[in-house]
Structure 1
Amino acid sequence: MDIQKVLSDRRIICSDPDIMSGSPVFVGTRVPLQTFFDYLEGEGGLAEFLADFPHLQTQVLQVLEIITKAMLNQEQITCAHSA
């Protein structure tokens, strides 16, 4: 599963050379998807990101859902091949 394609197809993120030099951003914003991941890796995590960008709550939940499903699918494939 190409996660970035799914996020783009669902209009959660977009890449446009005229917006943030083509970096994937949340649709309708200039907030890069990478910024979300940086927050997740930081001390404040998800709570801090949502406090700083409350208007992105729905999109963030969709991103987490899609990534989680992709990870679970990959885990199932890995387990099936190792059995």
Structure 2
Amino acid sequence: MTEIDQRITSNPAVRSGKPVVRGTRIAVSDVLEYLAGGMTIGEVLADFPDLDAEDIRAVLAFAAQRDYRRSPIT
């Protein structure tokens, strides 16, 4: 099991199956939107004390991995 698999989960009963940080209802997409909107990792962690820095790294790795699988290789 990878770090991503340990930290990012998906369950149809939680946030309609959106990928979330394990043990929370905080969606991967929410964290990405906060970071893209200019929040620092420290600000995200301050607003969501249930998260830690490893969770943020797992969110970013999950997004990168997902994007890589969708991108055509030329």
Question: Under TM normalisation by the shorter chain, which class is it?
Answer: 0.5 to 0.7
Which structure has greater helix proportion? 1
User: Which structure 2 residues correspond to residues 11-30 of structure 1 after superposition, within 5 A?
Assistant: 11-30=6-25
Q: Is the 8 A contact 1:24 1:33 kept in 2?
A: yes
One-letter amino acid matched to 1:19 = V
Q: Is the 8 A contact 2:10 2:18 kept in 1?
A: yes
What is aligned with 2:29?
Answer: 34
Identical counterparts, % of pairs: 35
Corresponding residue to 2:56 among 47, 60, 67: 60
Q: Give TM-score scaled by structure 2 length.
A: 0.66
Query: What CA RMSD, in Å, does the superposition of the two structures yield over aligned residues?
Result: 2.7
Report how many aligned residue pairs link the two structures.
Answer: 64
Unaligned runs of 5+ in 2: 66-72
One-letter amino acid matched to 1:45 = T
Q: Is the 8 A contact 2:41 2:56 kept in 1?
A: no
Aligned with 1:54: secondary structure? coil
What is aligned with 2:4?
Answer: 7
Q: Give TM-score scaled by structure 1 length.
A: 0.60
Highest relative contact order (Cα 8 Å, sep 6+), 1 or 2? 2
Which protein shows a greater Rg?
Answer: 1
Q: Is the 8 A contact 1:39 1:46 kept in 2?
A: no
Aligned with 1:56: secondary structure? coil
Separation of aligned partners in 1, 2:30 and 2:57: 15
